[in-house]
Structure 1
Amino acid sequence: MKFLRYGAPGQEKPGILDNQGQIRDLSEKVSDLSGAVLDPAALAKLADLDVDALPLVEGTPRLGPCVAGTGKFICIGLNYADHAAESGMAVPPEPVIFMKATSAIVGPNDDLLIPRGSEKTDWEVELGVVIGRTAKYVSEADALDYVAGYCTVHDVSERAFQIERAGQWTKGKSCDTFGPTGPWLVTKDEIADPQNLKMWLTVNGETMQNGSTKTMVYGVAFLVSYLSQFMSLQPGDIISTGTPPGVGMGMKPPRYLKASDVIELGIEGLGNQKQVARADT
């Protein structure tokens, strides 16, 4: 199943994609895609719905973030060996964990705002893992039982804020619009192997990233288990699992986003995003 949220910012409604790729309204069945609704068992019950009998959403509404009520936006750094190499950093002996402010979360096709003073806004396509029920001290063998599904995430980064201005990475990762999420929350039954998904990103039609989740250093099940040793993971939390090579920082010379650039990205089975870069005023 492919769940989504549609409507104006802050007024999104829950929806589901039918077999014809049309949006069906879920408002009469669930209040939103958050909390207990994300429990894998609850999502499985929705599989019994006659999707074609649900109200059809006319037109092409804005798509919002595919999950509501995200409490933690957890990111994993340097989780692809070839990306670590292009960044001039060693593969870490344990996952690098940092947080992205939840205020950065926007819809998959919303404008990407280049923050004031930025000269090094960069792109990163990433696999997002959405937690469906509380996970604490879970084993790697059981970890996927706590996952609601997967989504495409754009982990936008301002490299000067992140790396050159001391402190931690969070301030270079958390600017408004730096977390486009969606278009869909895709349930686990539709993804045979989260460690074998093609992923790509283009800027103005030029391919920048063309990779696969198979080259992750630390896989999804390991990451869910690992994180749950340090913090409880709650329904709606998102884990952004790292990016393959091809980011602007790794180019020679480096290349970064500027106003009017068009960024398109996607992950196999999880849907595509498209953003236009604008200067934040």
Structure 2
Amino acid sequence: MKQGRVVYEAAIHDVTEVNGKVQLQDGRLLDEHEVEWLPPIEPKTVFTLGLNYADHAKELSFTSPLPEPLVFFKGKNTIIGHRGTTVRPHDVEFMHYECELAVVIGKSAKSVKKEDALEYVRGYTIANDYAIRDYLENYFRPNLRVKNRDDCTPVGPWLVDAEDVEDPMNLTLRTYINGEITQEGSTGDMILGVAELIEYLSGFMTLNPGDMILTGTPKGSVDTKVGDEVITEIKGIGSLHNTIVGE
């Protein structure tokens, strides 16, 4: 099942996807352009992985494995829904998208082994975690402005139930700018997969229902400009649309 959250007729609705339409709980079917999209869940703790794809790490001249996963937090202010807008500051030179598989935790997880880790997943969605390289101090101490600006991380449109994703480590990711493909990769190229990330994080802290893990992006991140429509898609999960606007 694909589940989402939208605003329609001044009220928030939990919705499902039916034959490409948005179905309200009363059975009405709407086109996706008739609603305002919210993130499919209200996330609690949001974890973000850096340099978790071998090809992306190589693209950035990291040729040796990191001693520890590069993980940092995102504030709730960063998360917006499908078809939202993200601001590009007027004084930056390089602001790029990051198409990522987002994992949503479904039950409390502490000291979970990777063999059991997927049992703790509620579902999967798409995140586009924009980054501004101008603000980057270094890859191990990312400045807050790189990843925690308002509305810099579109998520959605749907949360797909875990049981409907046969293998989260065999999904194709693609990004399009104004209809032109600019990024393509596979979740199979992650350095630490979904199960390993849950094992690692739950090894020193409790993961709670509603926590979200953004698992990193493959190579191919390019600069975006004001007016660009950016579509990040993951096979079997959906297509997430976003537009870059000026200040």
Give the TM-score normalised by the residue count of structure 2.
0.92
User: Which ranges in structure 1 are unaligned for 5 or more consecutive residues?
Assistant: 27-53, 249-255
Large movers: runs of 4+ above 4 Å: 164-167
> What letter corresponds to residue 5 of structure 2 in structure 1?
R
> Which runs of structure 2 are paired with 1:37-76 in the superposition (5 Å)?
54-59=26-31, 60-68=34-42, 70-76=43-49
200, 205, 227: which one aligns with 2:179:
205
1:145 matched to 2:139? The reply is no
Code of the residue aligned with 2:213 in structure 1: it is: I
In the TM superposition, 1:109-258 aligns within 5 A as 109-115=83-89, 117-163=91-137, 167-248=141-222, 256-258=223-225
| Equivalent-residue separation in structure 2 for 1:147 and 1:167 (angstroms) | 29
What is the identity, as a one-letter code, of the residue corresponding to 1:76? L
SS at match of 1:181: strand
Partner residue in 1 for 2:24: 25
Of structures 1 and 2, the one scoring higher in RCO (CA 8 A, sep 6+) is 2
TM normalised by structure 1 equals 0.81
Amino acid at match of 1:4: G
Secondary structure, aligned partner of 1:63: strand
Which residue, out of 233, 250, 274, partners 2:241? 274
Structure 2: gaps (5+ residues): none
Query: Aligned pair in 2 of structure 1 residues 24, 166: CA closer, same or farther (>3 Å)?
Result: closer
Query: What's the offset of the Cα at 1:134?
Result: 1.3
CA distance in 1, matches of 2:168, 2:225: 32
- C-alpha contact 2:87 2:244 (8 A) present in aligned 1: yes
CA distance in 2, matches of 1:222, 1:120: 31
- 1:47 matched residue in structure 2: none
Provide Cα deviations, 1:242-263, integer angstroms capped at 9, x if missing partner: 1010012xxxxxxx22211121
Query: What per-residue deviation string (whole Å, max 9, x for no partner) do you get for residues 215-263 of structure 1?
Result: 1111001101111112211111110001010012xxxxxxx22211121
Deviates more, 1:203-212 or 1:265-274: 203-212
Counterpart contact for 1:156–1:178, Cα < 8 Å: yes
Q: Give, in whole Å, the separation in 1 of the partners of 2:80 and 2:38.
A: 6
Q: Alignment RMSD, CA only?
A: 2.0
Pick the structure with more strand per residue: 2
